[in-house]
A and B are shown apart, each in its own frame.
Chain A
Amino acid sequence: MKSTGTLSVTNVSKKFRVNNNEIHVLDNINLSVKAGEFISIIGLSGCGKTTLLRLIVGLESDYEGDILLDGRKLNGPSLDRGIVFQDHRLFPWLTVEKNIGLGIVGKSDTEKKEIVNNHIELVGLKGFEKSYPYQLSGGMSQRAAIARSLVNQPEILLLDEPLGALDALTRMYMHKELERIWKKENITMIMVTHDVEEALYLSDKIVVMSARPGKLQKIIPVPLARPRDRASVEFAEMKEKVLEEFMLHTEPHFTYTI
C-alpha cells in the first residue's frame, strides 16, 4: 500500500455569488480518503459533488475549511492531482498521442515517447496513436482522457462522471477497465457519478450527498469482494441500501404468518 494519496477534507464550505445572492453550494463537508482507496460521490444533480471535485483538483478556490493532500494544504492545481472530465476535453487539433503527451513536463523526447506509449497501452488504445479525437468513439475518447490524466503519475485521480456520456454496455466495459487501471496504477481515485451500480461496482466507499446546500448525507462502505458480481444477492442488497438514501428502494411487501 502506498503512503501517498491520502486526502482529508475538513469542515469545507463553499459559496458562490450570483447577482449579489449568495448560494451555499457546499456545507460543512468532512471526508477522509485513505491512500489507494476508490471513493464514489453520488447525489442528485445540484448537490455540489462536481464543485467538491473541482475544489480538490484546485480549479475552484476561495472556500472555508481545509483540504489536505498527504497532510499538505492545497494551493491551486498541481501535477499530483489528475482529473478526467465528463466531456473528455481532448484537444481536437491534436492526435491521440499528442493529447496524451500534452501534460508531460521535464522529460526528454525519448522518455516522453515511452511514457505516452506505456499509457496508450494501459488504456488499450494501441493502433490509434495517430487518430484525431473526432475519429474516436465516446469510450475511446474517455480512455485517451484517462491516459492523459495519468501521465504525470498523480497520487490521486479525480473522475467527474467520466462515463456519463457512454452507452450502457460500453460503460460496463469501462468499469472493468477502470478497475484494472486503478489496481495497476495503485492510486487513489475519487469519482463523481449518479449511477448507483457504477459506484457499487468500483468503490470501497460510497459518499452520498444531499442537495441545497450540498451536505454529506452518509458514507456507505462497500465490503464486497472484487471483482464484483452485479447479479449477486449481496450486490443487490447493497444497491437497495444505497437507493434507500434516495427513497428509491422497493418497499417490502406486506406479509404475515400464522
Chain B
Amino acid sequence: MLSKFLLLAGIVHSQKNKIMSFLSVRGNKYLPIKVLEGTLLPGTIFVIWLICSRLNILSKDFFPSPGDVVNGFHEVLNDGSFLDNLGMSVIRVLKGFLLGSTVGFVIGITLGMSRFLEKLITPIFNAIRQVPLPAWAPLLVLVSLGEMSRVLFIAIGACYPVVLNTFEGVKNVRNDYVEVGKVFKFNRVQRFFKIILPSSFPSTLTGLRLSLSISWMLVVAAEIFMTSGGGIGEMMWACREYSRMDLVVVCIIAIALVGFTMNFFMQKMEMFFSFWRLTLKQSR
C-alpha cells in the first residue's frame, strides 16, 4: 500500500510540469490551484486557531475565538463608523504617500543626475534615515496638532524607499543608452525624458510599491501616536482600551486586507510598466 502510494507520488512528481501545463491557461497557473496554494497556509492557521480556542488553550479574555471575530465583524459593519474610520485611514495614507513619494522621487532623481548634489546630500540623507520614525512624532506635533502632523509622519516614511530606488534606477541607466543619446545630439531634457526616466522607471515603481506598503503600516502608528483624528489605528487602540479584543482582531484583519490589496495593485502596476525588464530577466 505504502509502496504503491510512493510510486504514485513519484509519477505525479516526475510529471509535475506536464500536469501543471495541462492545468495552465497561457502560462499562468490554473486559477483554483493558485487560490489553493495561496490559501493553504492561512487556512491551516485558521484551523489551529479554531482548535485552540475550542480546547480553551487560548484564554477568551486575551484572545478571541474565530466566532467572536465573525460576530465582531457583524457588529462593526452594522455600526458604520468602522468603514468611515477605514476610509479616513486610506485617504490619510494616500495623502502621505503622494507627498512623500513625490518629494522622494525628486530627491532620487536629483541625487542620480548630479554627482555634486549626490556628495552634498547623501550624508545628511543617510543620517536622517537612521532616525526611527516614532522619534519624529514629538517634533511633528509641534508643527501641527491636526491632520498635517499625521500626513507628514507618513510622508517621511514613504519618502525613503522612493529616494533609494529612484536613485538606484538612475545610477544604473546603461551608459550604452546614454551614448545613443549623444550620437543623436540629445540635449539634457531629451536625455532625461527619452533615456533616464523610462530606463529607471521600473526601479522607481519598486520604490513606490514599498513606499505604499510602508505608508499603510505607518498610518496605524500615526493614529496611535497622534490621536483624535479618527482612523482604523485609533479605533483599534480604543477597542483595546475597552478590552474588546475581538474588535481589535477585526481591525488587524481589516488592516491586513487593505494592505494586501494595495500591494497587489502596485505589483500589477509594476509588472505592467516594467514588462520589458521582466521579460529581459526571463529570457536570460
Contact = CB atoms under 8 A, between A and B. Distances in A.
Interface of A: 57-59, 77-79, 81-83, 85, 87, 89, 91-94, 102-103, 105, 132-134, 149, 152
A103 B276 CA distance: 21
24 contacts: A59-B182, A77-B182, A77-B185, A79-B184, A79-B185, A82-B183, A83-B183, A85-B179, A87-B176, A89-B176, A89-B177, A89-B179, A91-B177, A91-B198, A91-B199, A92-B277, A93-B201, A94-B198, A103-B183, A103-B184, A105-B184, A134-B280, A134-B283, A152-B184
Nearest to B274: A93
Given A59-B179, A89-B176, A94-B198, 9 more contacts: A58-B183, A59-B182, A77-B182, A91-B177, A91-B195, A91-B198, A102-B194, A103-B183, A134-B279
B180 interface: yes
Interface residues of B, number: 18
B199 A93 contact: yes
Contacts of A87: 176
B276 A132 contact: yes
Nearest to A92: B276
Nearest to A91: B177
Interface of B: 176-177, 179-180, 182-185, 194-195, 198-199, 201, 276-277, 279-280, 283
A92 B195 CA distance: 11
Contacts of B180: 85, 89, 91, 102
Contacts of A93: 198-199, 201, 276
B3 to A, nearest CB: 48
Contacts of A149: 183
A85 B176 contact: yes
Interface of A is mostly: loop
Given A77-B183, A79-B185, A82-B183, A92 B280 contact: yes
Give the interface centre of A58, A103, A133 by most chain B CB atoms within 10 Å.
A103
Contacts of B199: 91, 93
Contacts of A94: 198
B46 to A, nearest CB: 42
Give the interface centre of B183, B185, B195, B283 by most chain A CB atoms within 10 Å.
B183
Q: 9 closest Cβ contacts across the A-B interface?
A: A103-B184, A92-B276, A93-B198, A93-B276, A134-B279, A77-B183, A89-B176, A89-B180, A77-B182
Contacts of B183: 57-59, 77, 81-83, 103, 149
A93 B198 CA distance: 7
Give the interface centre of B177, B184, B199 by most chain A CB atoms within 10 Å.
B184
A89 B132 CA distance: 43
B274 to A, nearest CB: 9
A81 B182 CA distance: 12
Contacts of B279: 132, 134
Contacts of A92: 276-277, 280
A77 B280 CA distance: 30
B280 to A, nearest CB: 6
A149 B180 CA distance: 10
Contact of B185 (A78, A133, A134): A78
Nearest to B183: A77
B136 to A, nearest CB: 37
A119 to B, nearest CB: 14
A112 to B, nearest CB: 14
Contacts of B179: 59, 85, 89
A95 to B, nearest CB: 10
Nearest to A94: B198
Contacts of B280: 92, 134
Contacts of B276: 92-93, 132-134
A85 B177 CA distance: 11
